[in-house]
Each structure stands twice: as structure tokens, then as C-alpha cells.
Chain A
Amino acid sequence: MKETQTIQNQTKNTQTTERMSGSEAIIKCLLAEGVDILYGYPGGAIMPVYDELYKYQDEIHHVLTRHEQGATHSAQGYARISGKVGVAIATSGPGATNLITGIADAQIDSTAMVCITGQVGSHLLGSDAFQETDIVGISTPVTKWNHQITKASEIPEVFAKAFYIAKSGRPGPVLIDITKDAQFEEFDFSYEKCTGIRSYKPVPNTNEKDLKAAAELINNAKKPMVIWGQGVILGEAEDQFKAVIEKAGLPSAWTILGASAIPSSHPLNVGMVGMHGNYAPNVLTNECDVLIAIGMRFDDRVTGNLATYAKQAKVVHFEIDPAEVDKNVKTDVAVLGDAKESLKALLPLLNKNSHSEWHQKFKDLYKIEFEKVIKNDLYPTKEGLTMGEVLKEINIQTNGEAAIVSDVGQHQMIACRYADFNTTKSNITSGGLGTMGFALPAAIGAKMAAPEREVVMIAGDGGYQMTIQELGTIFQQRVPVKIVVLNNEFLGMVRQWQQLFFDKRYASTEMVNPDFVAIARGYHIDAKKVSKRNELKDAVKEMIDCEGPYFLEVRVEKEDNVFPMIPTGASVSDIRLE
């Protein structure tokens, strides 16, 4: 890191140039942007850059993943836990196309990521050359920005722009495609960080009138309710957010990506909204008089049927991306701008309040949910293990300090519902795209970015096998992630839908699984399988106490369902408890 700082200062303060190849310039750009780790996979069209990585291996750590998709998810995990830009690198053709799922995931979940792809020589472009693919064309709809470099002299400016665009405003993925001849070409290198682009305004101006109007609505509300999203975390506005809700006494619910911005145990935290969210915030969305949305985008999984969503409420929307305002839910007051600055400015305009009667409603509904759902999930009396009790045990053994990296499906909903989050940036999951296979590589990136944190990956038996090859990366890099597979021998969420909406026709959802423990051990990862309640506690403890990576398979009840549930097309207040 010290090296990086020096280079950064040099490039900032001097305009001296140095003659070098395009590929060496790429490394210099990465160092100037503070990149210490990148995830990738070599191949023909990116070999000159890998040759430079070899020379610079003391300054920049390249992690060889086992598939390029793994590289993107690792870069995402890295970015999500650290707030820095994740970097993935791959060759042209299949290397580049394998990045697409991760890029699409980062785009919809607003994750800052820079992807670098090699490309065939510029004289071969458009000739259907070996491993040529139009990755700029392919990635256009799923990137915040992309660019193809055909001349080495473009490298510094394009890289500076890429990092600036990826991180600023509403973050997102950027792809840079570099032809092989540009990697070899020599030129006079100098680097200057990007500080602005005339056609791009990352943070819209906040209008004081809007802030006042928002404050007035909140001050006059009898039954206000907040729904916050990842904007609070991305904007590092956790403290300002807490101050606002505490002063005005606002019951606050979170979207899946907003989780962990304030601790789970905070008295104003009323749980998750959405399809498998908590009962009270879903039902009371349709009873509140002012709905305050902060850094969230009214995803369909959050709103259910829009025609019956919060129609009685005035809607205030704090948002950095003007395109999100009125996109799904019509707002009465939209406060554009950065969450941290807006909330800071809002605080003095708010009256102190407690809304204790209104809070009681959330508590009453929680009791109903506890009796019907939570009790059975966390304190089951039936024989089979539930996913919920595994989460409860992880909470106990980690004191709620772990970062939970979940995959997609039933276990993900259970993890988000029941994990204790004491620290921000602790819930790393694929929310918008719902990418099965996300968790294992994302956990690698998260653990490498935050080695001081306990990182527990939780996946189902389906998603785990989509990127199971990344066990190789864990083994080679000795990344001490804790891997928990909740095995119900089904693609559980699809099976649940088949049970509820397709008359139990379990089409292609039953899984015949391999010996997961043997596979983990094949990679020299300590591994254990449990299927009985009395084994669970010791197994989780052994996993957490283990210094290296650890694999734990828990055989859970085969046909458990996740409730509450808002069926597709239903209203949030018609959420089902059973």
C-alpha cells in the first residue's frame, strides 16, 4: 500500500512521462488507483498484461480464480465489503463472455467494479479472429460505461475515467477492452486521476425546497415509516441515517441490500420488506401515512402489486439516481442527492418525536409472525433441522459480527431474515439479479478485502455447485472463509413455488448430490457434515474456531418453505404467513 501511495502522489504532482509498454502502463494505472488485489484468468489476448503482473507481483496481488465468473463475483465481494472498486481481468472471447453474469449482477446491485479484457489485435477486429468477440457490444446493456482501447496512448485517460465512473455517484461496473497491439505498443506514460466528466453528473444537486417539503411531511406524519436500501451503505450515510430515524422516532425497514446499515437489534429496526420480508413492515406499508424511501428503488420484489402499494401514503424519496424517481412508485416529494449530505441537512429540520402508539403496531404484528413463523424456524420441535436454527447458531458463535455472504434461494431469504448484523457492509448477497453461484467466489473477495472479519458463506446445494470450482481458489490462496451448505437435496425455492403454485409438480428440482465433504477434503479443506440437532452447535463452533477455511454441510428438512411470502402479483398487505 505504501508503494501505491507514493505512485499516486507522483502521478498527481508531476507531469513527467516515462516510456513504457501499454501493458506496463495498465499496471501503473491500477497502482495509481490504489488497487492491491485483482481477480482473473489469463489467456492469449491478455498475456502481455500478465507478463507485467509477474514483474509487479510484490505490489499487486493477482488471484487466479477457477472461472472468469468467479473473478467477477470475487471482485464484487471485495467491493461490497470494502467500499472500494473491485477489479477483474480476463482474456478475449470466452474469457470476456464469462464475465457477463458478474457484470450484470454488479450493474443491477450498483457495485463498483472495473473489468479488463484482452482483445485480438486491432488489425484483426471484425475478422472473426480466434477468440474474438464483440465484448463492448455484448456488455453495453449491463455496464455503466465501457470502452475499447486500440492505442496505448489512450490507456491512462480511459483507466482514470473507468475508476472514476465505477465509484462515483450510483456505482456500477465498467469494462475496458484492450487490443493486444495496444498492450505491446510503447508510449510516454503519465497519469492523472479523473475528477470530472462534462457529460456526467454523478450526484445531482439537492434542492432545499424539497428537503423542507420532506421534513414537513415527516414532521406532520402520524404513522411514518422508512424503507432504506443500499444507498445508505454506498453513501456511507449510516450515522446520519441513524440520527434521523432516532430523532424523528421513525420505524425503519430495509430492503435486502440495505441490511446491516444499522444493527439488527436497533429498536427502530422493524425488519425486512418484500416478498419474504417481515410481516409488520409489509402489512404496515399499506397503513403508514408517510412512506420515506431512502436509497432504494422500489424493486418489484419489494412492492408486490404496484396498483395496491402504499396508495394511502405520501411518498418521500431520497435518491441519488434521478432515473429512479417515479420509475415504479409515484413520489410526492423527491429529494435528489447524496444520502449522507441529504440526511445531514434533513436532521435539523426534523422535530423530535417518538410515535409510540404506531410502534406498538409493529410489535403486535411481530408477535403474530413470531408465533406463526419465527418460532418454528428458530426453535423447531420437529425432527428435521431448519435453516433458521443454523443461522441462529452462527449468530451465537460469531456474536453477530460475521459478514454473511449468501447465495440465492431459500437459504438466502432465511439468512437475510435471521442473521444478526451488528456491523455495516455485513450482508453480501445477489439481490437484483439473483445470481446462483454468487456466494462462494464473493466470499473469497470479501475475506481478502477484510481479513480481520469473520466471513461466513451460506449457500444451498444448488447454487453451491454452480461455482464449486472456486474451492480451488480458496485452497491455493488459503482464504479462511467459512463455507456452509444448507443441503435439502432440492432447488428449494423453485420447489416451494412448484408446491404452492404448480400442484407439487416437482419438475427438475430434485438434486442427487455428490459427497460434498469428500470434495472439500479433496481441496484439503477441513470439512464436516451434520444432520442432527445435537451435533449442530459443536459443528458450528468447530467451524468458527478453525483458523483456515472450513466446509460445513448441514442436512436440513427437505421440503420446508420460507414464510412469510407475498405471492407474485399480490399486495404487500396480503402477505401469507403459511
Chain B
Amino acid sequence: MSEEKKLYTVSIYTENNIGLLNRISAIFQRRHINIQSLNTSVSEIEGVSKFTILIRVSEEQIKKIIGQIEKQVEVIKAYYHSEEDTIYQESCLFKIKSDLLFDERQIQNIIKESNARIVTVNKEFFVLEKSGRTQEIELLYRELSVFGIMQFTRSGRIAVTKDEMKISTMLEAFQH
């Protein structure tokens, strides 16, 4: 099996319980693995939560980690996917001085070309929102940083898979 480290997206379907985040993050911490991004939300199934975690590890490692995650009592099912298996988005917000919007022509072009959206503008600052793939956000950051960014924040990755995740069938099986 490949020892090469790759970026993997981990999707975890869980019960919605206090403390489960701690239990799951401990699995990574114990193995000295840095979580690159983490998102928790509701899922397509009522009452079931979903974690989306991004980590850089080898395939051998990810398989073992999935085993450890699934072992947790309140985890219904965990999956891992490589970049190609998912359709993903990340989202970010820039807070920038309003003067720049008028003084620096270039900024308007950047906003247009990057498909970013102006959320709000006031006298002091405007807020720009951009959703997209990692590289697109990185590019926008580089381009805007030249002019000065007052605040920047970026969300965890959210992803859906190209293939089906048979979680609903699993839960149905339990009811019978």
C-alpha cells in the first residue's frame, strides 16, 4: 500500500451527542495528525450529524483511522475519499478598506474575475465572499493581500461524493 501522503476527505455520520467531537479529534491527536479543516453539520438524514474532516496522510494510515473512528459507539459510519472522489467547496470572507474599492481599479477586476461576491459595503470597509476550490481561494487571497486585508477567514471544506454513501440503507436495516 502506498506510503505517500495525500489529502483525504473523511465523512463521518454520527449521532448528535455532546462530547463526540472530542472523541473523534482525540483519534487524530493521539497519532500526531494535524486536522487541516473540520466542519460539522446536519446531514441528509434527520437526526444524523455529519463531520467533514480534511487530513493529509498515507492510505495505510487513513484506513486505520477510519477503523478507529467507526469503533466509536456513536459513529454510524465513516468514509474516506480522495480529491477526485468528491465535489467540494470552501468558503471565505475578506474584510477590506472601502477606500481601496474606489482607489484601486484593479480590485474591481479581481472581484469580477474571481466570481467573488460583495456582501456589504459601508464607509470604512466592504466584505467580500468567495466560495470555490482551495486553489481559487488561495489565488484570490494572494491577489488581494497586495492591497491589504483587514480580516480574512476561511471555512472548513464541505464535500459530497460522486459515489453513493449507503448510509440511509444502513439505518433502515437497523429499524427492522
Contacts and interface: CB of A to CB of B under 8 A. Distances in A.
B122 to A, nearest CB: 37
Main secondary structure of the interface of B (DSSP, over half): helix
Interface string B51-83: 000000000000110011011011110000000
Contact of A199 (B23, B30, B73): B73
B73 A323 contact: no
Nearest to A146: B19
A144 B75 CA distance: 12
B22 A137 contact: yes
A175 to B, nearest CB: 11
Contact of B23 (A140, A322, A326): A140
Contacts of A141: 23, 26, 30
B119 interface: no
B68 A198 contact: no
A322 B26 contact: no
Given A199-B74, A323-B71, A324-B67, 16 more contacts: A136-B19, A137-B19, A140-B26, A141-B30, A145-B73, A145-B74, A146-B19, A147-B19, A148-B19, A321-B71, A322-B67, A322-B71, A323-B70, A325-B67, A326-B63, A327-B67
A430 B30 CA distance: 22
A359 to B, nearest CB: 36
A98 B144 CA distance: 54
A326 B66 CA distance: 12
Contacts of B30: 141
Interface string A119-145: 000000000000000001100110011
Contacts of A137: 19, 22
B15 interface: yes
Given A165-B73, A327-B67, A198 B171 contact: yes
B14 interface: yes
B75 A323 contact: no
B146 interface: no
A550 B171 CA distance: 56
Nearest to A161: B73
A501 interface: no
Interface residues of B, number: 20
B102 to A, nearest CB: 48
A322 B19 CA distance: 23
B1 to A, nearest CB: 9
Given A137-B22, A141-B26, A148-B18, A198 B73 contact: no
B18 A197 contact: no
B22 A199 contact: no
Given A136-B19, A141-B30, A327 B73 contact: no
Choose among B18, B64, B71, B76 the residue with the greatest number of A CB atoms under 10 Å from its CB: B71
A288 B23 CA distance: 40
B70 A140 contact: no
Contacts, number: 47
10 contacts: A137-B19, A141-B23, A141-B30, A144-B73, A148-B19, A165-B73, A199-B73, A199-B75, A323-B68, A325-B67
Nearest to B171: A198
A198 B176 CA distance: 11
B57 to A, nearest CB: 15
B64 A323 contact: yes
A165 B15 CA distance: 16
A323 B27 CA distance: 13
Contacts of B22: 137, 140
Interface residues of A, number: 22
Given A141-B30, A323-B67, A327-B67, A198 B23 contact: no
Contacts of B70: 322-323
Contacts of A322: 67, 70-71
A204 to B, nearest CB: 10
Contacts of A140: 19, 22-23, 26
Contacts of A327: 64, 67
Please list the 3 inter-chain residue pairs (A to B) with the smallest Cβ-Cβ separation, ordered nearest first.
Answer: A323-B67, A198-B174, A199-B76
Contacts of B76: 198-199
A140 B30 CA distance: 12
Given A137-B22, A140-B19, A323-B68, A200 B73 contact: yes
Contacts of A323: 64, 67-68, 70-71
Interface in B3-44: 14-15, 18-19, 22-23, 26, 30
Interface in A100-128: none
A227 B70 CA distance: 26
A325 to B, nearest CB: 8
A424 B78 CA distance: 37
Interface in A317-351: 321-327
A85 to B, nearest CB: 16
A199 B68 contact: no
A145 B74 CA distance: 9
Interface in B104-125: none
A165 B19 CA distance: 17
A194 to B, nearest CB: 11
Contact of B15 (A196, A199, A325): A199
Contacts of B75: 199
A553 to B, nearest CB: 40
B67 A199 contact: no
Contacts of A321: 71
A76 B43 CA distance: 39
B109 to A, nearest CB: 50
Contacts of A165: 73
A145 B64 CA distance: 20
B18 to A, nearest CB: 7
Interface in A183-216: 196-200
Interface string A66-86: 000000000000000000000
Nearest to B24: A140
Contacts of B23: 140-141
B70 to A, nearest CB: 7
Interface in B122-143: none
Contacts of A199: 14-15, 73-76
Contacts of A326: 63-64
Nearest to B76: A199
Nearest to A200: B73
A323 B74 CA distance: 15
A325 B70 CA distance: 13
A5 B74 CA distance: 30
Interface in A153-185: 165
A197 B64 contact: no
Nearest to A197: B73
A391 to B, nearest CB: 37
Nearest to A323: B67
Contacts of B14: 199
